[in-house]
Chains A and B, each alone.
Chain A
């Protein structure tokens, strides 16, 4: 089983749509979770951390289900500028300083006018 699995997409949605990305991870001892965004041929950039209680940042909502080892990202009212690849990222240890980040392959989102 792959360490971090994501639907590769692409997801093609119209502006204003709501889109959801899912991710599963294999290491039940994983401690912290993130969504990164990567534009074509650019570096990954942190979108948001994912907390056990779920968290929201504007149009973005992240959820974590430790029992199912499942992470989600919801984007509401999608904009053209949301077009990118969304990377599910897991830290198998507490704090990035002690371990490496495990990246999923990413889900590509394309928002059309």
Chain B
């Protein structure tokens, strides 16, 4: 079964360091997303990406964050200068096409980021 794959599964970094989280969405999918979940909190939308550009972003997704699709398979989330409050599980997700009401997001297993 096709799946979204994310690396690394866990990254520990020092405050102020740059972090890049990697995702390989399902190969024929068109829409890509990053969500995050702080431990014990709800899943929160960060950004959506379609046709090689950001289609929507939340207020969490400030100038410290960026996304890129450098080639036909990878979709990355970069955090330029990490803060303690960036510690969370980051989920990548993809969706195949615009299927309206029944469109299903497929989530990767997540990358846990710990900022010290």
Contacts and interface: CB of A to CB of B under 8 A. Distances in A.
The answer on A and B forming one complex is: yes
Interface of A: 31-32, 38, 41-46, 49, 51, 87, 94-106
Given A32-B103, A43-B107, 13 more contacts: A38-B43, A41-B89, A43-B109, A94-B100, A94-B101, A96-B31, A97-B30, A97-B103, A98-B56, A100-B48, A100-B56, A101-B43, A103-B42
Interface in B29-62: 30-31, 33, 35, 41-45, 48, 50, 55-56, 58
A49 B48 contact: no
Contacts of B35: 101
Interface residues of B, number: 30
A42 B109 CA distance: 6
B58 A46 contact: no
A57 B91 CA distance: 27
Contacts of B43: 38, 44, 87, 101, 103
A13 to B, nearest CB: 22
A48 B57 CA distance: 25
A44 B92 CA distance: 11
Interface in B16-31: 30-31
